[in-house]
Amino acid sequence: MNITKEVTPEEKRLLEIGDAVIKQVKQDLHFGSSNQQESYNAYGPEAKLRTRFARQHNAHPQKEGRHPRRMALAAVVAGAGNCGEMAACAYVRCRESIGPQYQVLWVSARNADHSFCLLGKLSWFQGHFIVVDPWPTQAQAVLYEDHFMYTLGKLPEVLKRNNGKGANIFNKYAQEQLALERQLEEFLQSAKRTHIPFRGYNQQYVTREPGTITYRQSGVQRCY
């Protein structure tokens, strides 16, 4: 499937920002995901070991709850992560990339074990929020109604929400980043490099029907 769909200028701009964020997250987590067949084919157990490290070092040392910046930092240092880590990275990068008039939501699907990021305004119809989901191997930003986890009338669970223009993650946690880099080196040196069997997915596309969507800007603004 490769279809063309019209969107408003505002939606098109957010889709372009979403694509740029996905590209950045893919570069940051270049070893991929421990539960994607493509990553296992390319790196063997490396992605699994690095994802394990990211998950062992993603918590706030003094606070409970979800902390996407720390989760993203651990994943970026490790260079790998599954959908949760990738969604946290997307949440952080999106907050850095859009203005305060937009909401950024780090969410988890209610009908499956999958996390991703949403962009938009609270007044918008839910299907026209922008999904930023870097986990599929051929990911692209899409309208929520085109995403493979879209369920009409059933919003995903919101793990964290905030407006755009958050602080740069690396400026705030520079010392922690250096410490994590040292710990990662020690972890990889001590890890037992035996064969780790692959158990996971071959999720290529982010769309409901396998394929890509080309979004074309229309001159019409939606009324919500």
What is the 8-class DSSP label of residue 208?
A: S
pLDDT in the model for residue 171: 73
Rounded to two decimals, the pTM is 0.90
**CA–CA distance, 133 with 15 (Å, rounded to integer):** 12
Rounded-to-integer distance, Cα 163 and Cα 103, Å: 5
Angle at 204 between CA 155 and CA 206, to 5 degrees: 25
pLDDT of residue 169: 66
* pLDDT per position as a tens digit, 118-135: 999 989 998 999 999 999
Q: What pLDDT, on the 0 to 100 scale, is given for residue 152?
A: 75
Question: Which pLDDT score, from 0 to 100, does residue 87 have?
Answer: 97
The answer to whether residues 29 and 76 touch, using CB atoms and an 8 Å cutoff, is yes
CA pseudo-torsion sign 61, 65, 67, 68: positive
- Phi and psi of 63, rounded to 5°? -125, 150
User: What phi-psi label fits residue 211: left (phi over 0), alpha (psi between -120 and 50 degrees) or beta?
Assistant: left
Low-confidence ranges of the chain (pLDDT < 70): 1, 59-65, 167, 169-170, 192-199, 219-224
Domains of the chain, residue spans: 2-217
CB 93 within 8 A of CB 79: no
φ, ψ (nearest 5 deg) of residue 67? -130, 90
